[in-house]
């Protein structure tokens, strides 16, 4: 209940992008790729800053029964909300002026879903993001590097009356309270999404869940650090 699911990280999973990671947590599997372009959206041209955005998708075979494939212009509300969350999470730890007029797009494709897909996309996607940033900024002085800190995310909840970390699908559907927490490696919050599912929660339960989330983020940050090895920027 208070332990992370098993996590494995395979960097450089594909060869066509500057960063790519196959990220597994338990039975959830997400492919995260990061692409770097020397241009920005039209509305940012001439402003001297870059942009980081994300796209998220659950592939048809990621769930049972099969999930219908999303087509251009027909992205559902859940997908839109999640990809905005991922983009915000990465921009929160970036200095867009130091990035210059470049764009980074992190694509997160869920190959297999068993709970925690959005948090896996953020945690794995950050590793791909670092590889993409390093492709253009390797060796620059620390004060010119465009990422300020790491970011990771985890789910927590109250299941059968007990606080639980890193919910798989079976626990998620039973949760009285479900929460996703995004934090920096330095222990600062970026986003907290918490909901009572036909239930409520009090201050003490909220404090317990946030403490448990912090514990998980510390472990995930160390996993990111090990995966990047000498490419860890800080």
In contact, 126 and 151? CB cutoff 8 Å = yes
- For strand 151-159 and strand 162-165, is the pairing parallel, antiparallel, or unpaired? antiparallel
Tell me, what's the pLDDT at 179? 98
pLDDT digits (tens, 9 = 90+) for 177-200: 999 999 999 999 999 999 998 899
Residue 2 lies in a domain: no
Tell me, what's the pLDDT at 31? 98
Q: 81-118: b or e for each residue (b if 16 or more CB lie within 10 Å)?
A: ebbebbbbbbbbbbebebbebbbbbbbbbbbbbbbbbb
Q: How far apart are CA 211 and CA 27, in angstroms?
A: 25
Residue 216 lies in a domain: yes
Distance of CA 210 to the CA centre of its chain: 17
Residue 221 lies in a domain: yes
Tell me, what's the pLDDT at 72? 66
Count the Cβ atoms, other than its own, within 10 Å of residue 73.
5
Q: What is the mean pLDDT of the chain?
A: 96
% helix, strand, coil for the chain, step of 5:
35, 30, 35
Q: What is the pTM of this model?
A: 0.96
Residue 60 lies in a domain: yes
User: Number of structural domains, the chain?
Assistant: 1
**Residue ranges making up the domain that contains 142:** 7-229
Residue 73 confidence (pLDDT) above 70:
no
Tell me, what's the pLDDT at 232? 97
pLDDT digits (tens, 9 = 90+) for 10-42: 999 999 999 999 999 999 999 999 999 999 999
Residue 234 lies in a domain: no
In contact, 122 and 182? CB cutoff 8 Å = yes
Residue 172 lies in a domain: yes
CATH number assigned to the domain comprising residue 14: 3.30.230.70
Residue 219 confidence (pLDDT) above 70:
yes
Tell me, what's the pLDDT at 75? 79
Tell me, what's the pLDDT at 21? 98
pLDDT digits (tens, 9 = 90+) for 120-168: 999 999 999 999 999 999 999 999 999 999 999 999 999 999 999 999 9
């Amino acid at each position: 209940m208070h332990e992370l699911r098993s996590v494995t990280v395979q960097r450089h999973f594909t060869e066509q992008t500057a960063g790519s990671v196959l990220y597994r947590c338990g039975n959830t599997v997400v492919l995260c790729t990061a692409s770097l372009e020397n241009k920005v959206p039209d509305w940012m041209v001439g402003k001297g800053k870059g942009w980081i955005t994300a796209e998220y998708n659950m592939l048809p075979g990621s769930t049972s029964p099969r999930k219908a494939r999303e087509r251009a212009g027909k992205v559902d509300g859940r997908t839109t909300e999640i990809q905005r969350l991922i983009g915000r999470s990465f921009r929160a730890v970036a200095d867009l002026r130091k990035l210059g007029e470049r764009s980074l797009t992190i694509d997160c494709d869920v190959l297999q879903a068993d709970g925690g897909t959005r948090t896996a996309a953020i945690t794995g996607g950050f590793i791909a993001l670092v590889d993409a940033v390093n492709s253009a900024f390797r060796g620059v002085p620390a004060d010119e590097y465009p990422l300020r800190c790491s970011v990771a995310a985890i789910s927590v909840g109250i299941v059968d009356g007990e606080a639980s970390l890193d919910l798989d699908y079976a626990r998620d559907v039973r949760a009285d309270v479900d929460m996703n927490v995004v934090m920096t490696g330095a222990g600062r919050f970026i986003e907290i999404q918490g909901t009572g599912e036909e239930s409520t929660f009090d201050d003490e339960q909220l404090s317990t869940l946030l403490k448990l989330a912090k514990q998980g983020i510390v472990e995930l940050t160390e996993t990111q650090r090990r995966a990047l090895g000498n490419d860890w920027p800080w």
